[in-house]
């Protein structure tokens, strides 16, 4: 089964709602529409940018999709500062990032919380991009594959095969996020292949072959083609390189490959 690459920009805590409009406009202008047949392009933006991005995407009928960087596992109620999946769905979100290493590290998010947040999103028709990855000490010990497989299994706990078919996994080695260090294409393939085998065990061949597994961690325009060229890597979760609309368009075009 041919999987269309997904290039998802994670803006993190950058760009206010006015900068968001300018960035998405630049991205849309710089990426010719022919490329969208070969690559899916998304941005995950701060909550305060969502309405502006929604208005622009819908008003200009852009082929870019968008989403949020976190979601509450709760439906509604006395959870100060939280944002529910229902709220995100009303804003037209296609995606939500769950379990990013920065959320796990700075906010103490557990695998169980990541699974609950992902399930909440799926219940409202939003696809979670579930982030997993090993710290440097695990990589140096050589136990990274086992570590990431176990982390992923726990982060998907309780999701049905149907829910998994609407889920994306992003492998982000923690030591490569924002450091400029990049896992080699072979490193990315090794872990993504193991993750596809895990999904095969959890949900069967069809779901495993259809699931998109991304690589994240200092993805750049000049490295993305080789990474996406690996048999089990289906795109990238892109941080800093997604903050400039023109540069992100170039990265997405490189991921798409040459037009026929």
172 among known catalytic residues:
yes
Is the pTM higher than 0.85? The answer reads yes
Q: Measuring CA to CA, which residue among 131, 130, 205 is closest to residue 174? A: 131
For residue 152, the model assigns a pLDDT of: 99
Annotated binding residue 239: yes
3-class SS shares of the chain: helix, strand, coil, % to 5: 50, 15, 35
Write the CB contacts of 177 (distance below 8 Å, at least 6 apart in sequence): 101, 102, 133, 216, 217, 218, 239
pLDDT at 168 over 90: yes
Confidence band (pLDDT; 50, 70, 90) for 182? confident
Annotated binding residue 10: yes
107 among known catalytic residues:
no
pLDDT digits (tens, 9 = 90+) for 20-38: 999 999 999 999 999 999 9
Q: What domains sit in the chain, N to C, each tagged with a CATH number?
A: 6-246 (3.20.20.70)
pLDDT at 41 over 60: yes
pLDDT digits (tens, 9 = 90+) for 86-140: 999 999 999 999 999 999 999 999 999 999 999 999 999 999 999 999 999 999 9
Annotated binding residue 216: no
Exactly one of 109, 134, 163, 172 is catalytic; which is it? Answer: 172
Tokens 């136990």 correspond to 143
- E strand or H helix that includes residue 226: helix 224-228
Exactly one of 73, 100, 144, 163 is catalytic; which is it? Answer: 100
Write the CB contacts of 130 (distance below 8 Å, at least 6 apart in sequence): 98, 99, 114, 118, 152, 155, 156, 167, 168, 169, 170
For residue 1, the model assigns a pLDDT of: 56
pLDDT digits (tens, 9 = 90+) for 227-247: 999 999 999 999 999 999 999
Write the CB contacts of 147 (distance below 8 Å, at least 6 apart in sequence): 134, 138
The strand pairing partners of 30, in sequence order, are none
Encoded tokens for 127 = 């696809």
What dihedral angle (degrees, nearest 10) is formed by the CA atoms of 194, 200, 201, 207? 130
Encoded tokens for 140 = 């140096």
């Amino acid at each position: 089964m041919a999987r269309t690459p997904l290039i998802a920009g994670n803006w993190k805590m950058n760009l206010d709602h006015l900068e968001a409009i300018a960035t998405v406009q630049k991205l849309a202008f710089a990426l010719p529409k022919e490329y969208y047949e070969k690559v899916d392009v998304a941005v995950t933006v701060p909550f305060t940018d969502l309405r502006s991005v929604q208005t622009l995407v819908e008003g200009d009928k852009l082929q870019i999709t968008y989403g949020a960087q976190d979601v509450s596992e709760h439906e509604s109620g006395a959870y100060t500062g939280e944002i529910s999946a229902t709220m995100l769905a009303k804003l037209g979100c296609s995606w939500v990032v769950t379990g990013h290493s920065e959320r796990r590290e700075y906010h103490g998010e557990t695998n169980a919380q990541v699974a609950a947040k992902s399930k909440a999103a799926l219940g409202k028709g939003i696809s979670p991009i579930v982030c997993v990855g090993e710290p440097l000490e695990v990589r140096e010990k050589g136990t990274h594959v086992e570590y990431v497989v176990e982390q992923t299994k726990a982060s998907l706990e309780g999701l049905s095969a149907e829910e998994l078919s609407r889920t994306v996994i992003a492998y982000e080695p923690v030591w490569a996020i924002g450091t400029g260090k990049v896992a080699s294409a072979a490193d990315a393939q090794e872990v993504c292949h193991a993750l596809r085998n895990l999904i095969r065990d959890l949900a069967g061949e069809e779901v495993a072959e259809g699931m998109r597994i991304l690589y994240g961690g200092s993805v750049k325009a000049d490295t993305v083609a080789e990474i996406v060229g690996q048999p089990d890597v289906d795109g990238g979760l892109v941080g800093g390189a997604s903050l400039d609309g023109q540069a992100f368009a170039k990265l997405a075009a490189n991921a798409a490959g040459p037009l026929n």
